[in-house]
Amino acid sequence: MQKRYVRITDTTLRDGSHAVAHQFTEEQVRAVVRGLDRAGVPVIEVSHGDGLGGSSQNYGFSRVPEERLLRAAKEEMTQAKLAVLILPGIGTVEDLKMARDCGAEIVRVATHCTEADISEEHITWAKKNGMEVVTFLMMSHMIDPKYLLEEARKMESYGADCIYVVDSAGAQLPDDVRARVSTLVEGLSCQVGFHAHNNLGLAIGNTLAAIEEGASQVDGSTCGLGAGAGNAQTEVLAAVLAKAGYETGIDLWKLQDAAEEAVRPILPRPIIIDKDSLTVGYAGVYSSFLLHARQAAEKFGVDARDILMEMGRRKSVGGQEDLILIVAQELAAERSAK
């Protein structure tokens, strides 16, 4: 019986950008891409953590312009495909043209789970210009599966080749993942994918659950490097899928070598589930809020966990990073008034 193929996209050089405050160097990008490409990773994503055009005061400035990093990554690829992320409202079609000119073959168009309609322009342009389009419905824990399917159908109608259920907060339990993925698999004609964060320690288990429900594309990050407590660890994911009888086309030994030799040396700190990243998953807030909350906590002398919990209570979403400072200031004022 032929093994079912699952495509893994490695997002070390995009989601991992959050964990290093968007300070990747060209040399680091080249080394990571060489290692992943040699290991047979089929898709490698390279972008600012918040996607094309994300380098800004609000999200954090990149150390190196994206165009240079994309061209460097493409030069190191012999078999992998180059992917980029774009969030409509942050990145523009002009940014997408730049990425395509740099060799990007796949664009991942990401919106909040209730805002699929803002993706039409970017999806349409990419399809007309020969790019594969994968779409992200972020913070998917915030709406029920039927509502998520309604939004996914909009993206499918615009031309998406694959639609991802994205656990941006790392807040979902396996049953949550199963419900959402199975609903999209049953209700769509295109492929379905899944992107996990590890804030509750469930990234690998949730990804396996998604695959069992029919997801054909999933994401990983080498050494788990990513926002919050990181993503499903690519080398662990490849090993788990091999043991479970799935085909990925990845050489596990070479992938482990890439993790140890190219990625681990650039980790700013161990990627672990500490008190703050655990709170991200518990509160259900955007994983990339973690560093912003820590910085605000230090500035105003409050607990980052209190900031994250309040952000969760307010049902904040990606793009509201500026609200973190306001919440921190309010918490500090409340404490002073007591």
What's the pLDDT band for 126 if we cut at 50, 70, 90? very high
What's the pLDDT band for 9 if we cut at 50, 70, 90? very high
SS3 104: coil
Please state, as a whole number, how many other Cβ atoms lie within 10 Å of the Cβ of residue 338.
4
Q: Which long-range contacts (CB under 8 A, 24 or more apart) does 55-61 make?
A: 55/22, 58/321, 58/322, 59/22, 59/90, 59/321, 60/21, 60/22, 61/22
Q: Could you tell me which of 180, 158, 161, 138 has the C-alpha nearest to residue 284? A: 138
Q: What is the pLDDT of residues 214-227, one digit of tens each?
A: 999 999 999 999 99
How remote is the C-alpha of 108 from its chain's centroid?
Answer: 10
Give residue for tokens 């994503």.
45
| 178-195: average pLDDT | 98
| Res 335: pLDDT | 85
* Pair type for strands 7-13 and 191-195: unpaired
Burial of 96 (0-12, 13-18, 19+ CB in 10 A): buried
| 195-213: average pLDDT | 98
Q: Which domains does the chain have, with CATH numbers?
A: 7-265 (3.20.20.70), 275-337 (1.10.8.60)
Catalytic residue among 18, 112, 197, 292: 18
Query: Any idea what the Cα angle at residue 58 is, between residues 53 and 61, rounded to 5°?
Result: 55
| Res 269: pLDDT | 84
Q: How far apart are CA 237 and CA 253, in angstroms?
A: 13
Which residues lie closer than 8 Å to 99 by C-beta, 6 or more apart?
A: 47, 52, 66, 70, 84, 86, 107
Q: What is the DSSP string of 140-169?
A: GGGS-HHHHHHHHHHHHHHT-SEEEEE-TT
| 100-113: average pLDDT | 97
Instruction: Give the tokens for residue 241.
Output: 């899928």
Rounded to 10 degrees, the C-alpha dihedral 47/163/173/41 comes to -50
Mean pLDDT of the chain: 95
pLDDT(288) > 80? yes
pLDDT(101) > 90? yes
| Res 57: pLDDT | 79
Question: SS3 for 194-256, per residue?
Answer: EECECCCCCHHHHHHHHHHCCCCEEEEEHHHCCCCCCECEHHHHHHHHHHCCCECCCCHHHHH
| Res 337: pLDDT | 83
Which residues of the chain form beta strands (DSSP E)?
7-13, 43-46, 81-86, 106-112, 132-138, 162-166, 191-195, 217-220
| Res 233: pLDDT | 97
What's the pLDDT band for 2 if we cut at 50, 70, 90? low
Q: What is the pLDDT of residues 142-186, one digit of tens each?
A: 999 999 999 999 999 999 999 999 999 999 999 999 999 999 999
| Res 178: pLDDT | 98
Mean pLDDT lowest among 45-49, 158-162, 286-290 = 286-290
SS3 279: helix
Predicted TM-score of the model (pTM): 0.93
Q: How far apart are CA 167 and CA 281, in angstroms?
A: 10
| Res 181: pLDDT | 98
Please state, as a whole number, how many other Cβ atoms lie within 10 Å of the Cβ of residue 118.
14
What's the pLDDT band for 319 if we cut at 50, 70, 90? confident
| 200-223: average pLDDT | 98
Please state, as a whole number, how many other Cβ atoms lie within 10 Å of the Cβ of residue 16.
28
pLDDT(1) > 80? no
pLDDT(66) > 70? yes
Asked if 48 is an active-site residue, the reply is no
Asked whether 194 and 165 are in contact (CB, 8 A), the reply is: yes
Q: How far is CA 107 from CA 88, 294, 336, in A?
A: 12, 31, 48
